[in-house]
Structure 1
Amino acid sequence: MEKQNNLSENQTLITKTTVPTLPEIKPSETKALAAKTSVTKTPVTKTPVTKTPITKTPVTKTPVTKRRETKLSVAKPFAQRGLMVSYTNLYLEARLRYNELLSIKNSKEAALDKAPPGKIHVSKTSHGVQYYLRNESTEKSGKYIHKSEKTLITKYLQKSYDEKILKLVTVESASLKKLLFKTENVITTIQNVYSDSPTEVKELIIPIDISDEDYSQKWLNIPYEGKVIPDYLPFFETKRKERVRSKSELNIANALADKEIPYKYECPLRLSNGAIIYPDFTVLDVKRRRVMYWEHRGMMDDKEYAKNSVQRLKTMMGEGIFVGEKLIITEETSTSPLGTNEINAIIKKFFS
């Protein structure tokens, strides 16, 4: 209402100030005045209509197309993508915790099967702690156990502790089992979005997560040129028809292949200084989405060979490749060969 009042007042002021200044219009001048009036109104009405859409069009469309072109042009290659949704540290820790709980549960159940019958009751008095053996849980008193019977007291105290722990472990493991089941279902659904896409689509998108099979295949499809072992040198042929240099390397390669763990033999690794080395095995840890290196030292009783092996280890550590994290080292001498049991134990430790 205030705006309407102000507007009417302004209009009144305008008419009062402009009317006295206008000359008297004669009938013969009416047409000329009308023509002048129409000429002055034309630029006022056309100017905002024609200019407004022209200025808005490039402002809204131009940045959108540029952003899309930038994203497509700088798409990172597969080796640099962090496809870690399915096996994050949180998921792996939950799965590790679940396995630990199952192990504890099994051990406590086995221990309780061997425990003596009855329950121990602990009574705190002003003179210290007293122990009573109850054959029934409803029994209020019980048979007093003298402190000198330490072995018997220890067995019943351990039994009481194991029973409490077993209940808690059972509850936690059941909760984790449900959580892992739901999580794995979601993971599978996310992975299938990529897996179920046509090949042409897969080549154009960057997924946040893919299945183990797709991940392994993409890594194996990356070409490389390893060292060539000529015919005049001794070699062993793996199950995958690869040439390797020793019997132990043959056992390592076949063990990895048997467990369907992706690997590349003597795949070149470029160092930060530009030099290239050829680790014996470059192995893909599919579950943790990481690459590991397996170096086998087969002649550690040779001084020069051992010296070079130490220098090679220092070189790899300088690149951030440390034993137990990204690097596995196995050794043998002419009198102490590497056994298949050791190989299988290492594979279980790092890739299961």
Structure 2
Amino acid sequence: MMKKRKKGPLSPSAAASSAAPSANQQHRLFDLPQDVQRVVFFPLLGRDGLVLLRRTCPLGTHRVSEDYIKSQINRLLVAKNIRNIISYRVRPRVRMRPMAFLLRLLYIIDNSGEWAGWEPIIRVAKHQGRRGVKLPIELGSADVEGFIPDPNGEERLGGARLVIRLLHTLPADHPFRNGFDEANPVCRFSADDYASVRDAVLHVVRRGGPFVAFQLAIQSDDATRLNRLRQLATQPPPIWGCRTISTFHRPAAGGSSDRTIVLHGDQPDHQFEAHIFIDSVPECAMTWLQTTELPEDAQEGAAAPPETVRVVREVMGDDAQVVFGNKLAIAVD
């Protein structure tokens, strides 16, 4: 005598879509107390499950309402500690229906990993003159409608291809292999490997501002400076107490190590942005300092902006002289 096969438990989305009732029927899950529905069951469904549930019957549309989706978005903003980073406003069908916008925004916030580390980078972008950048960033339908998850891990940054690199794709001697973090993985952007997506974004947004100082170090002429620059380009953060750092590796350039270190401009009370960039290749290393502080005298050959010089000396300490020599030897009040 054959035994009947036992059916396994349905997934939340399958439970929402199975045995769809007719228009005058009610899905059995709605027999549960509403608090249990909203607090326990609905959060398990995810975006796709909630969409299916809204289609089961009129009561599903009523229970999974705009107000409920807003409450889940607000819950995530608090849980991820990003209320000061992003906000949103529902506009009456500017580009998308309000519910479609809210459901997609819920998916993006819930599935976009760690947000807290973006706040300093957004401040850097603001100082660099990125149009409309302010905190919190208000997301609208135009920001979310183009978001389509890619099963191959491919995204776009500034129009260029960005691909998440998993641990098994990194060679055994790759500089980012030992510190690999699944929650903040390595990515490839413009043929270079970045320590994380945040590192790639910071590298893009920090470009701008006049050059204050430049230094080149070659082994035969300046071994002490060259060795220190190579250390600064590869040692784990923080560096001089700075944590807003972008690090990338260029396999095609003989394994060069490049790094941006934001010295100023990533905190709420900063009035300008200043950073150094280090490019370390096998033959030599070079570094330069950029700032968005406006010089007191706009004429060619004017002295470096005084507040930037003060910040560099204060943050870098003795390394300011090691890295730049006398390039920053100006009087400041």
Normalised TM-score (structure 1): 0.25
Larger Rg: 1
Higher relative contact order (CA 8 A, sep 6+): 2
Give the structure with the larger strand fraction.
2
Give the structure with the larger helix fraction.
1
